[in-house]
Amino acid sequence: MPLGTAIHNIEITLGKGGQLARAAGAVAKLIAKEGKSATLKLPSGEVRLISKNCSATVGQVGNVGVNQKSLGRAGSKCWLGKRPVVRGVVMNPVDHPHGGGEGRAPIGRKKPATPWGYPALGRRSRKRNKYSDNLILRRRSKK
């Protein structure tokens, strides 16, 4: 496969099936090949190594404009299985850390929290010293 080829549905582990670049319109780019590994630029901006033996599909995933389509009303979203999004501030204290208070009360904490009480913003969720850390050459860029 020549360098610069657009690919999708990429395996991370040999024989496990495609796991990367599978969303509508997603495409990864083959940047380099050396030894037993190939370097890819993923849709997130991450640059990582993958075994040359892993399979991938040439080209871009279809249905590119699926996100641009206006659903029109709440019912259309309901048919797709999307549940309503309710803000924590309008819940009761038993349901969310932001809930409760008299009237339109502020959060009442130093930082926003998830429904389970963990910090909602700025907390890294990736495990430290993960086995695949040495395969990631450049972390995804913040958009």
pLDDT in tens, 16-70: 999 999 999 999 999 999 999 999 999 999 999 999 999 999 999 999 998 899 9
**Partner residues linked to 30 by β-bridges:** 40
pLDDT, position 142: 72
Within the chain, all domains assigned CATH 4.10.950.10 are found at 75-115
2.60.120.10, 2.30.30.30, 1.10.1370.20, 1.10.10.60: which CATH number matches 6-64? 2.30.30.30
Residue 50: Cβ-neighbour burial (10 angstroms; 0-12, 13-18, 19+): buried
Tell me the CA distances in angstroms from 106 to 33, 67, 89, one per residue in order: 53, 33, 8
Place of tokens 């319109």: 25
Name the CATH topology of 75-115: Ribosomal protein L2; domain 3 (4.10.950)
